Structure 1
Amino acid sequence: MRGVRRRIAAIAGAAGTLLLLGGCMTVTGQAPGHRGAPGDAATPGAAHGAGEVGYAHPFVPLPSVSLAPVPDGYDPSADASAAVAAAVAAASADGRPVLLDFGSSWCEDCRALSALVDTGGVHRILARNYHLVTVDVGHYDRNTQLASRYVSLAQSGIPALVLLGPDGTRTDTGDPSEFANARNLDADGFAGTLVDWLYLRSR
Structure 2
Amino acid sequence: MTQRTALFPRFGALLAGLVVVATSIPGAGHAAEPPPGSVPVPQLDASQPITPAQHVYPDAALAHTQVTEAFKTALRTHRKVLLDFGGNWCPDCLKLAGVFDVPSVAQWLDAEFVVVPVNVERINQNLDIAKRYGVTIHEVPTVLIFTANGKLLNADGANTLGNARAMSAQSVIDLLASWNRRS
Whether the 8 Å contact between 1:74 and 1:136 is mirrored in structure 2 is yes
Tell me the TM-score normalized by structure 2: 0.66
Name the SS for the 1:132 alignment partner: strand
The code of the aligned residue for 1:97 comes to K
Q: Provide the C-alpha distance between the structure 2 equivalents of 1:171 and 1:102, rounded to a whole number of angstroms.
A: 16
- Return the match for 1:137 from 111, 120, 123: 120
Task: Give the match for residue 67 of structure 2.
Answer: 84
Q: How far off its partner does 1:173 sit?
A: 5.3
Tell me the TM-score normalized by structure 1: 0.60
The code of the aligned residue for 1:153 comes to I
Q: Provide the C-alpha distance between the structure 2 equivalents of 1:165 and 1:129, rounded to a whole number of angstroms.
A: 11
Q: Provide the C-alpha distance between the structure 2 equivalents of 1:168 and 1:174, rounded to a whole number of angstroms.
A: 16
For residues 30-77 of structure 1, give each alpha carbon's deviation from its aligned partner in whole angstroms, at most 9, with x where no partner exists.
Answer: xxxxxxxxxxxxxxxxxxxxxxxxxxxxxxxxx854228xxx710125
Q: Provide the C-alpha distance between the structure 1 equivalents of 2:167 and 2:105, rounded to a whole number of angstroms.
A: 12
Whether the 8 Å contact between 1:65 and 1:128 is mirrored in structure 2 is no
Whether the 8 Å contact between 1:173 and 1:197 is mirrored in structure 2 is no
Gap runs ≥5 in structure 1: 1-62
- Residue 59 (structure 2) pairs with residue 73 (structure 1): no
Q: How far off its partner does 1:185 sit?
A: 2.0
- Give the 3 Å change call, closer, same or farther, for CA 78–124 of structure 1 in structure 2: farther
Gap runs ≥5 in structure 2: 1-28, 35-54
Counterparts of 1:127-166 in structure 2 under 5 Å?
127-150=110-133, 151-154=135-138, 157-166=139-148
* % identical aligned pairs: 28
Q: Supply the RMSD in Å over aligned alpha carbons.
A: 2.0
Name the SS for the 2:156 alignment partner: coil
**Higher relative helix content:** 2
Task: Give the match for residue 162 of structure 2.
Answer: 180
Whether the 8 Å contact between 1:99 and 1:131 is mirrored in structure 2 is yes
Whether the 8 Å contact between 2:85 and 2:118 is mirrored in structure 1 is yes
Task: Give the match for residue 190 of structure 1.
Answer: 172
For residues 124-147 of structure 1, give each alpha carbon's deviation from its aligned partner in whole angstroms, at most 9, with x where no partner exists.
Answer: 111111100010001112112223
Counterparts of 1:88-127 in structure 2 under 5 Å?
88-127=71-110
Name the SS for the 2:56 alignment partner: coil
Whether the 8 Å contact between 1:87 and 1:131 is mirrored in structure 2 is yes
Name the SS for the 2:105 alignment partner: helix
Residue correspondences, number: 134
